[in-house]
Amino acid sequence: MKLNGILNSNISKVLSDLGHTDQLTIGDCGLPVPPTVNKIDLALKLGTPSFIEVLEAVLADMKVEKIILAEEIQEQNPAVLSELKTLLKDVEIVYVPHTDFKHATEQSKAVIRTGETTPYANVILQSAVIF
C-alpha cells in the first residue's frame, strides 16, 4: 500500500504519466468534462472535497510552470483566486474567457471534479520539467 501522497490511484497514475507541458484540470462540480477526456470524479457532496483541498494535494505531487484560469474568477471569486496566487506564487497565470477555458480542457490528460460550489473555481495546470 502507498505510504503517502495521493492515494487515489487514478490521480496518481495521471500525475506519474505527465510530461513537460502536459495539462491537468481541476474543476468545480459544475465544470463540463469533454467526452474525450478522462474524468476523475471526487465529488462526494456539495462542497466536499473543496477545490483548494484537491489542488493542495495535487501540488504536493506535481511541478507546475503555468496555470490557466477563466478571467471571470477575478470578479466572481476573488477569495479562490487569492488562494491560487498564494499556492502558486512563482507560476505564470494566463486568463482566458470562461468559454475558451472550457474548450482548453479538451487538451487535458484528465479533469478532476471536486465538490466545489463557488463560481469559476477551475484551473488548468501545465506541468513543468523537474530537472
The residue count for the chain: 131
Q: Which residues pair with 112 in a beta bridge?
A: 26, 40
Catalytic residue from among 20, 30, 60, 79 = 20
Q: Give the contacts of 100 (CB within 8 A, at least 6 positions apart).
A: none
Q: 28: annotated binding-site residue?
A: yes
Q: 98: annotated binding-site residue?
A: yes
Q: Between β-strands 123-127 and 64-70, what pairing exists: parallel, antiparallel or unpaired? A: antiparallel
Residue 103 among the catalytic residues: no
Q: Give the contacts of 28 (CB within 8 A, at least 6 positions apart).
A: 51, 113, 114, 116, 117, 118, 119, 120, 121, 122
The sheet that has 92-96: what strands, in order across it? Answer: 38-41, 110-113, 23-27, 123-127, 64-70, 92-96
Binding-site positions read: 28, 98, 120-122
The catalytic residue positions are 20
Binding-site positions for substrate read: 28, 98, 120-122
